[in-house]
Amino acid sequence: MAVLREIRAKARQILPPVLAVCVMGYFAYHSIQGDRGYRALLRVEQDLAEARVTEAQLRAERVRLERDVKLLDRNALDPDMLGERARMLLNYGLEDEYTIVLEAPGVQ
């Protein structure tokens, strides 16, 4: 019985620090790997950077399209733009013109 009492006494001394280390390990693991941990923060920041790049590309395309629309306005019609659009829509070209067909981005 003395051995059993000694084991219980030692277990009572060791158990609180072991539990504390386990709890700290649990929180440390989830602060890095959890849904709202450090790695999740890195993924969100990477997604945000990609979204900003996409936004910049879309803004540039919008500016280009708005410029093209302004050139086709009835009040300020640009003859070069009109000729270009007419040739593109009618599939028509002059004898001294060369047509270079470019693939659309992302099309294979």
Profile the chain (108 residues) by mean pLDDT over runs of 10 residues.
Answer: 86 92 94 90 96 97 90 75 79 75 70
Q: Which amino acid is at 33?
A: Q
- Considering the entire predicted model, what is its pTM? 0.53
Looking at residue 103, what is its pLDDT? Answer: 78
- Residue 91 Ramachandran class (φ > 0 left, ψ -120 to 50 alpha, else beta): left
DSSP 8-class letter at 103: P
Specify the pLDDT at position 75: 76
What is the spatial distance between Cα 59 and Cα 57, in angstroms, rounded to a whole number?
A: 5
